[in-house]
Amino acid sequence: MKLENLKPAKGATHNSKRVGRGQGSGKGGTATRGTKGAQARAGYEHKVGFEGGQMPIQRRLPKFGFKNPTRVEYKAVNVATIQALSEKLGAKEFDLDALIAAGVASKGDLVKVLGNGEITAAVEVKANAFSKSAIAKIEAAGGKATVIE
């Protein structure tokens, strides 16, 4: 097989329509454009979304939903995850940099610690927000939960 021998599969290509080449072509007269009207003329362009005078779909469908511009999105980290990291790394202090280094959060994330799971290690955790259950579990294990700005 050589590059110059390659050709499309049988039936994959079509001959182009030769319009406007007289009556003998079988497409003479109107050149397949139908009779009269803007679409039959040269230079016709329709508006984006124009559906031939029918009410366009973006006007037929109702407005829907709401995006809150002041929403604050947190990356959730459970106390079970902090317990697992404490056992794996042997660390007693977790701040944003430690959580990013562990791959739990990304740079620029706001981190909220949630109370899912159990924690037995006495660790100091610094995050942007905590749930009430997370604070209770961390302090019950002898640790400390500190909110950072």
Tally Cβ neighbours within 10 Å of residue 73.
Answer: 7
Task: Please list the helix, strand and coil fractions of the chain in percent, rounded to the nearest 5, in that order.
Answer: 25, 15, 60
Considering the domain 74-147, what is its CATH architecture? Ribosomal Protein L15; Chain: K; domain 2 (3.100)
User: What pLDDT score was predicted for residue 52?
Assistant: 87
The angle subtended at Cα 13 by Cα 7 and Cα 16, nearest 5°, is: 125
In angstroms, rounded to a whole number, what is the distance separating the alpha carbons of residues 44 and 20? 16
In angstroms, rounded to a whole number, what is the distance separating the alpha carbons of residues 77 and 38? 61
Of 65, 64, 47, the residue nearest 56 (C-alpha): 47
Residues in the chain: 149
In angstroms, rounded to a whole number, what is the distance separating the alpha carbons of residues 56 and 49? 6
First CA to last CA distance, the chain: 66
In this structure, which amino acid lies at residue 31?
A: A
pTM recorded for the entire structure = 0.58
The pLDDT profile of the chain, 149 residues, written as one tens digit per residue, is 899 999 999 999 999 999 989 999 899 889 999 999 888 999 999 899 999 899 999 999 999 899 999 999 999 999 999 999 999 988 899 999 999 999 999 999 999 999 999 999 999 999 999 999 999 999 999 999 999 98
- Residues facing 51 on adjacent strands: 54
Of 141, 128, 75, 129, the residue nearest 102 (C-alpha): 75
